[in-house]
Amino acid sequence: MLEPTLSTSCNRRTVDDSPDFQRVLNRMAFEVDSLAKKSAAVQAKVDKLNRDDLETNASKIHVTCEEMYELKERVSAVQTTLAEFNLTARDVCEDIRLIKTGAEQLQTKVQETDNTMGKVLSEINTLKLEQRSLSRSMDANSITKSAILAELKDIRDKNTHSSSTASLPATAEQNETILGGYGIHSFLGTGLQVLQHQPTKSTLCQRP
């Protein structure tokens, strides 16, 4: 490698001192300054854009927060309404259950009442049949009683007629008839008293 010679040094010093080189340096310095200014302007625009974006985003975030708060309030109101509706629905279900239970109990009582009414009607029909049977028996008893009274009266009349002839001499057969007549008369008197004091049909049919 060759050492720089005196002529080379002189040439460099000559170039640095030349007006053209100085002009070029000035031009380059101007361009650098211009680029620096442009860079500063661009940076200012970038900063402004970033600041605007941040403000816009902050505004959007604020609006979003307000919307979220309103939405939260609405959701809370809806939840409260749902809770009240659930309570109301629970109360309604409880009322329905109570009504259903009451209806079942009422149905049971109605069934018991129907069964009781059936038994009562059956007893009434039985009593009617017994009353009819008793009425027929009383009718037959009344007829029999009338016949017995007529027969007893006839026998008593005959016995009275026989007693009126007691002053005549009596034979053994007549004495037996007279003695029997007195016995029959006593029996007939007792029988008439018994029959006359028997309850009639109207008395037996009366119920308390």
Residue 197: the pLDDT is 52
Rounded distance between C-alpha atoms, residue 144 and residue 138, angstroms: 9
- Answer for the pair 148, 195: CB distance below 8 angstroms, yes or no: yes
Contact between 188 and 155 under an 8 Å Cβ cutoff? The reply is yes
Q: What is the pLDDT of residue 185?
A: 45
- Look at residue 206 in the predicted model and tell me its pLDDT: 47
pLDDT at 105: 92
Residue 59 has what pLDDT?
Answer: 72
Q: Collect all residues with Cβ–Cβ distance below 8 Å to 178 and sequence separation of at least 6.
A: 162, 163, 166, 170
Residues 6 or more apart in contact with residue 34 via CB below 8 angstroms:
none
Per-residue burial over 196-205, b if 16 or more Cβ lie within 10 Å, else e, is eeeeeeeeee
pLDDT at 92: 84
pLDDT for res 57 = 67
In the prediction, which pLDDT does 208 show? 42
What is the per-residue pLDDT for 166?
A: 53
Local mean pLDDT, 10-residue blocks, the chain (208 residues)? 43 55 79 82 76 68 76 84 81 88 91 90 90 82 78 82 58 46 46 51 45
Domain map of the chain by residue range? Answer: 34-205
